[in-house]
Structure 1
Amino acid sequence: MSQSTVSSNSRNAAPRAPFRQRLSTRIIVLSAVALTLVLSMISGTLWLSWQLEGAGAAINDAGSLRMRANAVAIALWETRLGQASQLDDQIRQMDTTLSRLRGGDPARPLFLPNDKVIHAQFVRVAAAWQDELRPAALHERDLAMREPGAYIALLPGFVAEANGLVSLIERENSRKTAWLRMSQLALAALSCVGTAAIVYMLYLWFVVPVQRLQDGLSRIEAREFDTRLPVKTEDEFGQLANGFNRMVAELQALYLELEARVEAKTAQLAAQNRELALLYEMAACLNSPETAEVLCHDFLTRLMREFNADGGTVRVISAEDNNLHLLAAEGLTEELANAERCMSAHNCICGVASFTDEPVIGDLRIMMGDDRELVKRCVQAGFVTVAAFAIVSQDETLGTFSLHFKRPRQIPASEIQLLRTLGRHLGVALKNRRLVALARQLAVSEERNLVAQGLHDSIAQGLSYLKMQVQLLGEAGRAGNLDEIRELVPLLSGGVEESYQDVRELLLNFRTRIGPGALRPAVEDTVARFRRQSEAEVTLDYRDEGGPPLPSDQQLQVLFILQEALSNVRKHAEARSVHVTVVNGRDFRLLVEDDGIGYEPAELDSAGEAHVGFHIMRERAKRLAAALHLDGRPGHGARVELILGAQARMAA
């Protein structure tokens, strides 16, 4: 039995247990029955207790009838003696007690037992009071009789009837008390019997099946794979037993072919480990800072060693002539390498692989008849099989690499996939080197542009001014005007000195280098240099509010903007005071304010890139992806504010 067949059977032969047979259904039913019985017994006990409590209150009130009848007699005697009595109050209390016994009071509780004999006796007691004693008492009160009358004669009979009512209620209470004891005993017996029954049923439902499973597992541990569990129920444990039997059958089938499977898995894991090791090795090799030629030689050497190839090449496509140029070669004869140093992308196997999605693998002996001249060199060098793969980066083919074998070689699909992956890795590495070179060229070009702008803003204008003064000096010399010459010479000297200072400042700015965490000392040095070069009073407020440090390249751009802003203040603002604020919080903020002559913002906007200083600051702010605000008013100074947001800044 194969593993797929057993697995299929295990999936298809596991129907759910019928609802009535499930353990959950049994447990719910058992719990519901037990709960119903217990609640019924408890409810009966509570009902009996309530009945006993109400009957006990009725006994008290029925017993009080005798006392109240005697109290009425005493009140009548006090009335005959002319003393103050509470006869009316006693009669009213007697009426209230009889009314309470007749209607009952569930809140206390108080009620007569539901017995015909007791109710008949109560009717006689109530009738004796209402029909005999009460009228007699009222009659004797109204006549003010001096001797005992009918009330005293009727009183013993009433008391006897009341005693009979109390006796009947007490007898009924005794009977219900016996019922209460019997129900409590029955509840205790039911609890014991129910607990034993539940334990036994749970033992049958859970413990016995688990013991069977434990016994089966013990036999499986002893490698008795012919073990099968009896399936006696259709509940979850029956399904579990079926699953256990299917599992044992599958284990039995797997055990028979275990050795072959282990060998196959071991070989597969070994191949995967080899592929992973090769990928890690190649990734480390391709991430090295070597040149493209050295990188390709290392890549090819490792590839040939891993796949036991006798030779190999790496070719890249030239953007100028669209030909394949040999970048690295190993194991090829010098004649073959020189002959194929440059070849068309459509020639031979190595060229065809550059414009197809699939690798090209061919037997050179069979291809001799197709293109004798191109294949002949490889055959003469002793190669029989050639496998060529494209070097790809983001769907762009950069070239090809090939492996040459001097014996027939079949390359399995797993190795083909690995080689294609390595080709993509090599393509990414070559593409990254090209991008790095382009980025370096672009950075140099941008920096040269900023240098040219700086020269134009300072040196070029100064030299233009000196050229004009030299022309005037020449004309004054030819005219022999010594006074004009004396006036022009200081101007020339001042212009030369100013140009010299501009050159020194530019050299200092463009030679500035900042290491990690060195922005504050660099800002302080820049402000100190401005103090030496200008008569304006300068204040620096540098606040570190917990923001992360800027990386070196961003620090350098911020420092250049500060230097350019202070240079503009020194050259044009005629300011008396300058305030520099640097805040490194969630956002980075640089602010330079002065109280100089200011400028007209409309003129600055119309000047565009003609004002090179402001243009340079805007270029550097754009490179930082920061916001640069330039504000000013004639006669009210100017301010330069740079804000580098939290999303644009990078951690150092």
Structure 2
Amino acid sequence: MSTPDTDTAPFADGSPLPDAAGLTPPRHRLSTRIILLSLASLLVVLTMIAGTLWLSWKLEGAGAAINDAGSLRMRANRVAIELALSATGQPGARNDQIQALDDTLAQLRKGNPVRPLFLPDEPAIHAQLDHVLHDWQQRLRPLAQAGNGAAYVRALPDFVAQADRLVVLIEHDSARKTDLLRLSQAGLAAIACVGTVAVIYLLYLWIILPVLRLQDGLRRMAAREFTLRLPVETRDEFGTLNAGFNRMADELQDLYQDLAARVASKTAELERQNRDLETLYDMAAFLNQARDAEAMARGFLQRVMRLFDADGGSVRVMDAQHGKLHLLASSGLPATLAEADNCMAVDACHCGDATHEGVVAIADLRKTARRPLLAQPSPCTREGFTAMAAFRIESQRGAIGTFVLHFRAPRELPASDRQLLETLAQHLGIALEHLRLSASARQLAVVEERNLVAQGLHDSIAQGLNFLNLQVQLLSDAVGRDDLAEARELVPMLRHGVEESYQDVRELLNNFRSRLTPGELRPAVEETVERFRRQCRTEAKLVIDDRGNNLPLQPEQQLQVLFILQEALSNVRKHAMAAHVTVSLSHGHDFRLVVEDDGEGFDPAELGHDNDVHVGLNIMRERAARLGARLAIEARPAQGTRIELVLPRGGQAARAERHSTAGQALPRPTQESLR
């Protein structure tokens, strides 16, 4: 789109230019000035060149005129010669010479632009030519035509003198024009030099200087000198650029000031977020440490109070059944306030309100009436606390308590601090719930283990003691009857029963003392089978396939497998009456334990009707269930028994993952996974 060249052209933003009375004088646009300067320079150069060409053309014509004027003397002398030859009777070319001289004079008078040939425009030269022409036509030519050679010769010197004078005049004029040509050339060179300097200076003023100013402005702007403004001194394109630069500087200054404020705000926000993340990390690390609830709550309070400059704090747990809040830990509270609030109703104060509202933050307790109908101040106010903030502690079961921060000076908590405190309260709730669940899990584990111990005692020692009790009664009856023969029969049975019970006690003690770490299952299995060989005459064979490349079982898994193996071998020793027993252990895709004997066996249908007799099998089933394994029992009367325990690979990984999340490292897979 074309732009106007007038001095009233507006700036790029549409704002009008100042008039002549303003700070900026009216000027043409830069493009107009450059065009005018170029045209003026071209006009001057062309004028000077045209002048020199004209002078050279005139000099060339004058040179030809000098030649022709000089030839008048020669032609006049030739005419005299021809006249002399005619007088002696020799033929001549008199008329030709006369005609040639006439032609020369005519050409000098009229000129010939083609040659070129013309006389200078000087009156004296033309007057002298007229005098020469008159002398020729009036005196010499008639004498030459009449053949009067003597008279012609007498008049010839005067004609030659007049022709010489004409030549001299033309030469003088040519010399003057030559000087003028040289002067013009010198002037042209001077004008070229001065014009070049002038053009360079004007271009410097019009283009280079504004560009340098603009470049310097950009450099200073890049150095964040946003207060810089360029002077708008012209109405040309650079004036528009300077005005646009100033507007850009205004906008950049505003943007930079706003950006600085935003950067400061974002920096403060990032610092706060980093502080919050660090606080959450430290708090999570502290809460994950194994400790009791009271110590956890006290450490939690100390860290939160130190972070928020609180003067006091408390953690209360809720008794939902009785609607009470019990003080778990406190810090910085007067003894009277801590004792008074040791057990309080949920709806008795702001602390209890947090269990329903989530957050209760009061910047100034003196301006807030908890109970409008009561004129007495709250206990916190009586103890000198003027601000408080209560937050609900919750878990998956819902609200389980509150924690409160007390301040002696009015304090307004921003939204970010409230959010952080709410998150910390959730962390505390999760940690307390974890402690509760851990305690429940430990209690459940103790109950389960006690159940297994009770079952083991019932299956081994209790039955042995019952047998001994019966034998002792029979012995008592035999002694009462003085039946020594029967007494002698009963004593070995009593001794055997006592030894059997002693072996059962030793076996139970060995089971209870068993402690395994990853990689110790194979030695434990070998020791168990070797102990079985020492306890009875049944031939025991152990087959272990350790060619697998799987994760070794975790210590808890290994212990349960060992207990099942011990229980199976104990049943073989006590009930199977077997000659051979084979224990096979493999850890391929799945973990597999097989105990197979050739003893008396039993009817599997009886297992559901006589659980007391087969307590050992029930114990094995319970341990297999705790492992997440499959336990298969195959038996037939008089055909032996086969017990197979299979722990799928997925169950191994799940148990390993639970073990790793409990804080213990997973063992590396090795070729010795069963050892």
1:457 is matched with which residue?
459
Aligned twin of 1:199: none
Partner SS for 1:647: helix
Q: How far apart are 1:604 and its partner, in Å?
A: 2.3
Distance 2:430 2:516 in 1: 32
- Residue 446 of structure 1 corresponds to 448
Query: What amino acid maps onto 1:434 in structure 2?
Result: R
Stretches of structure 2 lacking an aligned partner (at least 5 in a row): 1-216, 230-246, 657-665, 667-675
CA contact (8 A) 2:363 2:410 kept: no
Residue aligning to 1:326:
327
SS at match of 1:421: helix
2:569 corresponds in structure 1 to 566
- 8 Å CA contact retained: 1:509, 1:560: yes
TM-score with structure 2 length normalisation?
0.59
Q: Which residue of 2 aligns with 1:433?
A: 435
List aligned pairs for 1:27-176, cutoff 5 A: none
Instruction: Give yes or no for contact 2:593–2:645 (8 Å, CA) kept in 1.
Output: yes
Match of 1:586 among 569, 581, 589: 589
Question: Which residue type is aligned with residue 452 of structure 1?
Answer: A
Which residue of the partner structure matches residue 267 of structure 2? Answer: 266
Aligned pairs, how many? 421
Contact 1:348 1:374 in 2 (8 A): no
Q: CA deviation at 1:376?
A: 3.4
Q: Which residue of 2 aligns with 1:310?
A: 311
Checking the alignment, whether the CA contact within 8 Å between 1:390 and 1:423 is kept in structure 2 is yes
> Where in structure 2 are the equivalents of 1:341-352 lying within 5 Å?
341-352=342-353
| Equivalent residue, structure 2, for 1:284 | 285
Match in the other structure for 2:340:
339
Q: CA deviation at 1:636?
A: 1.6
Q: CA 1:597 to 1:454, structure 2 compared with 1: closer, same or farther past 3 Å?
A: same
Distance 1:373 1:586 in 2: 77
Q: For residue 555 of structure 1, what is the aligned residue in structure 2?
A: 558
Instruction: Note if contact 1:609-1:615 (Cα within 8 Å) is conserved in structure 2.
Output: no
Q: CA deviation at 1:355?
A: 2.7
Specify the code of the residue in structure 2 equivalent to 1:331.
Answer: G
In the alignment, what sits opposite 1:533? 535
Measured in 2, the distance between the counterparts of 1:361 and 1:578 equals 77
Deviation at 1:621, TM superposition (A): 0.2
Aligned pair in 2 of structure 1 residues 457, 603: CA closer, same or farther (>3 Å)?
Answer: same
Which amino acid is the alignment partner of residue 266 of structure 1? T
Q: Does 1:623 align with 2:626?
A: yes
Secondary structure of the 1:486 match is: helix
Deviation at 1:389, TM superposition (A): 0.4
Task: Provide the C-alpha distance between the structure 1 equivalents of 2:625 and 2:251, rounded to a whole number of angstroms.
Answer: 69
Q: 5+ unaligned residues in a row in structure 1: which ranges?
A: 1-215, 228-245
Q: For residues 303 and 624 of structure 1, what CA distance do their matches in structure 2 show?
A: 42
Following superposition, the deviation at residue 609 of structure 1 comes to 5.8
SS at match of 2:283: helix
Write the letter of the residue equivalent to 2:646: I
Question: CA distance change for structure 1 residues 250 and 543 in 2, over 3 Å: closer, same or farther?
Answer: farther
**In 2, distance between residues paired with 1:437 and 1:254?**
60
Query: Counterparts of 1:643 and 1:338 in 2: how far apart (Å)?
Result: 59
Return the index of the structure with the highest Cα Rg: 2
3-state DSSP class of the match of 2:551?
Answer: coil
Distance 1:395 1:575 in 2: 55
Tell me how far apart the structure 1 counterparts of residues 262 and 542 of structure 2 sit (CA, whole Å): 76
Amino acid at match of 2:283: M
Structure 2 partner of 1:518: 520
Partner secondary structure for residue 586 of structure 1: coil
Work out the percentage of aligned pairs sharing the same amino acid: 57
TM-aligned CA deviation for residue 415 of structure 1: 0.9
- The answer to whether 1:546 aligns with 2:560 is no
Q: Distance in 1 between matches of 2:408 and 2:309?
A: 10
Looking at structure 1, the residues matched to 362 and 289 of structure 2 have their Cα atoms a distance apart, in angstroms, of: 30
Instruction: Provide the residue aligned with 1:602 in structure 2.
Output: 605
Q: Deviations over 1:216-260 (max 9, x none)?
A: 999985769999xxxxxxxxxxxxxxxxxx999986653242221
Q: Tell me if structure 2 keeps the 8 A contact 1:312–1:401.
A: yes
User: What SS does structure 2 have at the residue aligned with 1:453?
Assistant: helix
Q: In structure 2, what is the equivalent of residue 45 of structure 1?
A: none
**1:480 & 1:223 partners in 2: Cα distance?**
122
Q: Distance in 2 between matches of 1:251 and 1:379?
A: 53
In 1: Cα distance, 2:386 partner to 2:486 partner: 93
Report the equivalent of 2:236.
Answer: none
> 2:363, 2:411 within 8 Å by CA — same for their partners in 1?
no
Q: Is the 8 A contact 1:347 1:374 kept in 2?
A: no
Correspondence list, 1:187-586, <5 A? 254-318=255-319, 321-361=322-362, 363-365=364-366, 366-367=368-369, 370=372, 376-394=378-396, 396-544=398-546, 545-586=548-589
Would the aligned equivalents of 2:349 and 2:370 in 1 still touch at CA under 8 Å? no
1:369–1:533 CA distance, 2 compared to 1 (3 A) = closer
Between 565-574 and 608-617, the greater mean CA deviation after superposition? 608-617
Residue aligned with 2:592, SS: strand
Deviations 1:570-601 (A, max 9, x none): 11111111111111122111111111111111
Relative to structure 1, the CA distance from residue 251 to residue 586 in structure 2 (aligned partners, 3 Å threshold; closer, same or farther) is: farther
- Is the CA contact 1:459–1:503 (under 8 Å) kept in the aligned structure 2? yes
C-alpha offsets along residues 375-401 of structure 1, whole Å, 9 cap, x if unaligned?
532112100111110111125111100
- 1:526-545 CA-to-partner distances (Å, cap 9, x unmatched) read 11101111211111111221
In structure 2, distance between residues paired with 1:636 and 1:249: 103
Aligned partner of 1:635 in structure 2 is 638
Q: Secondary structure at the match of 1:353?
A: helix
Q: CA RMSD in A?
A: 2.7
Shift of the 224–376 alpha-carbon distance from structure 1 to 2, 3 Å rule, reads: closer
Shift of 1:566: 0.5
Distance, in Å, in 2 between the alignment partners of 1:249 and 1:451 is 87
Secondary structure class of the residue paired with 1:629: strand
Match of 2:350, as an amino acid?
I
Asked whether the equivalents of residues 318 and 325 of structure 2 are also in contact (C-alpha less than 8 Å), the reply is: yes
Show CA shifts across 1:473-529 (max 9, x none). 222222222221111122112111111111111111112111222111111111110
Q: CA 1:248–1:525 in structure 2 vs 1: closer, same or farther (change >3 Å)?
A: farther
For residues 413-456 of structure 1, what are the alpha-carbon distances to aligned partners after superposition, in whole Å with 9 as ceiling and x for unaligned?
11111111000000000000000000000000000000000111
The alpha-carbon distance between structure 1 residues 338 and 256, as it changes in their structure 2 partners (threshold 3 A), is: closer
User: Post-superposition shift, 1:606?
Assistant: 3.2
Q: Taking structure 1 as reference, are residues 300 and 372 closer, same or farther at Cα in structure 2, changes over 3 Å only?
A: farther
Q: CA deviation at 1:464?
A: 1.2
| Residue 623 of structure 1, CA deviation | 0.3
8 Å Cα contact 1:601/1:632 also seen in 2: yes
Contact in 1 for aligned 2:361/2:413 (Cα 8 Å):
no
1:77 aligned residue: none
* 1-structure distance, mates of 2:639, 2:391: 70
> Structure 2 vs 1, CA of residues 340 and 411 (structure 1 numbering), >3 Å: closer, same or farther?
same
Q: Is the 8 A contact 1:352 1:360 kept in 2?
A: no
Residue by residue, what CA displacement relative to the aligned partner does 1:59-118 show, whole Å, maximum 9, x if unpaired? xxxxxxxxxxxxxxxxxxxxxxxxxxxxxxxxxxxxxxxxxxxxxxxxxxxxxxxxxxxx
Q: Which whole-Å CA distance do the structure 2 matches of 1:611 and 1:373 have between them? A: 75
Deviation at 1:360? 4.7
- Tell me how far apart the structure 1 counterparts of residues 467 and 447 of structure 2 sit (CA, whole Å): 28
Report the alpha carbon displacement of residue 318 of structure 1 after superposing the two structures with TM. 3.0
Paired residue type of 2:644: E
Over 3 Å counting, the alpha-carbon distance change for 1:388 and 1:637 in structure 2 is same
Distance in 2, matches of 1:585 and 1:251, equals 72
Deviation of 1:356 after TM superposition, in Å, equals 2.7
